[in-house]
A = this chain, B = another copy of it.
Amino acid sequence: MSLGPDPVKSRRRATIADVARAAGVSPSTASVVFSGKAPVAEATRERVLAVAADLGYTGPDPRAASLRRGRSGIVAVALEEHLRTAFLDPVKTAMMDGLTDGLAELGAGVLLLRDDPGAGPDAPTLATAPIDAAVLIGCSPRMRETLEAVRARGLPIVVIEGDAGDDVPRIELDNREAAAQIARHLLALGHRRAAMVTLPFDSGRERGDATSERIAAITTPVTRERLEGVREVYPDARVVSAGASMIDEGLIAGRLLFADPEDRPTAVMAQSDLIAAGVIRAAEEAGLQVPQDVSVAGFDGIAVDGLGEHVLTTAVQPAAEKGRAAGAAIARMLAGEQAASIRFTCTFREGTTTGPAPS
């Protein structure tokens, strides 16, 4: 008796109106039964639910609900890179983790979007997806264009580690200051010959020794800020750029730094822990001991798989908190309030990879 899915015509899926009618209540009552937004007599409630089950009605259609409510419960997270690349970076993963948590608390889901129009003709974009807000991870020049579409729609936006204009709240790090702190630590240890291995300068991912022109043309703010911080202390430090934040890239850069036995740095500041791990490996490969022969510092404070017994000297950044803060900022803006930019600070951590300069 409860088998046939549709009592009347079996073409259409049941709607809340069908349920209401079959249960002998009004649509609004049925709606309230499902949303719980108002009290309903227990008897009514049960009757509605029973009828719904009978009709195979599984709850309000989210599409219709979001039209009516004006909210979809979805927040876009826009990445500049390929997923594979983004999640190779433990810092980004941790951040995404905090972000998804923060957004979940707010009742929103995360729509992963890559800022790449080349995908499909009708692939969803920041401009066309049914989203309530957007979080940008980084902000390339191209992304800024897309951004305009979102702003025009009047949706809240937050940028993590990027600049999208003064009126878009940012979640940032005191990159410069933290980098300077590391540099001062090494200076205090007596190091005179310092070098740094940076994150990529731009999306080109060019590697190797940097000319002053290349440095002047850095478009990635994080790279620039950390570099400037070091230069406050070591204005003349050798600068080698890595192609990405990866152990292998650090290894390549490290081999370059340690190639000439006559002209080696005694301290290397890497702009990420992964790069630092590679530099350490390069040092060991060159027969150098860390930290006796060369000190190596990183940046990020993540757990690097592959460091052996070393504990990296580094600037620990609150990656997950950054993500969570972005979620909170979105929540505030969704509630109609203004959200201010937030600047997180890193915590210096002295590990076992830095020590006094060799005499």
- Count residues of chain A with CB under 8 A from any CB of chain B: 57
Name the one of B73, B74, B123, B152 contacting A58, with C-beta atoms under 8 angstroms. Answer: B152
- Chain B residue numbers with a CB within 8 Å of A110 are 111-112
- Chain B residue numbers with a CB within 8 Å of A130 are 62-63, 66, 72-74, 130
Please tell me if A24 contacts chain B, counting CB pairs below 8 Å. no
Please tell me if A268 contacts chain B, counting CB pairs below 8 Å. no
With known contacts A305-B247, A306-B247, A100–B127 Cβ distance under 8 A: no
Please tell me if A122 contacts chain B, counting CB pairs below 8 Å. yes
A304 vs B237: C-alpha distance in the bound complex, in angstroms?
32
- Nearest B residue to A118, CB-CB: B104
Within 8 A of B (CB), among A58-115: 58-59, 61-64, 66-67, 70, 72-74, 82-84, 87-88, 93-94, 96-97, 100-101, 104-114
Q: How far is the CB of A347 from chain B (nearest CB, A)?
A: 20
A73 vs B248: C-alpha distance in the bound complex, in angstroms?
38
Please tell me if A288 contacts chain B, counting CB pairs below 8 Å. no
**B56 contacts A152, C-beta separation under 8 Å:** yes
- Nearest B residue to A76, CB-CB: B109
A87 vs B85: C-alpha distance in the bound complex, in angstroms?
11
User: Chain A 103-139, CB within 8 Å of chain B: the 1/0 string?
Assistant: 0111111111110000111111001111100000000
Please tell me if A144 contacts chain B, counting CB pairs below 8 Å. no
Please tell me if A149 contacts chain B, counting CB pairs below 8 Å. yes
Please tell me if A154 contacts chain B, counting CB pairs below 8 Å. yes
A90 vs B130: C-alpha distance in the bound complex, in angstroms?
30
- Chain B residue numbers with a CB within 8 Å of A58 are 127, 149, 152-153
**A105 contacts B120, C-beta separation under 8 Å:** yes
- Chain B residue numbers with a CB within 8 Å of A106 are 120
Please tell me if A310 contacts chain B, counting CB pairs below 8 Å. no
A66 vs B124: C-alpha distance in the bound complex, in angstroms?
12
Within 8 A of B (CB), among A146-172: 149, 152-154
Given A84-B94, A108-B123, A109-B129, 5 more A-B residue pairs with CB atoms under 8 Å apart are: A74-B111, A82-B97, A83-B100, A110-B112, A248-B305
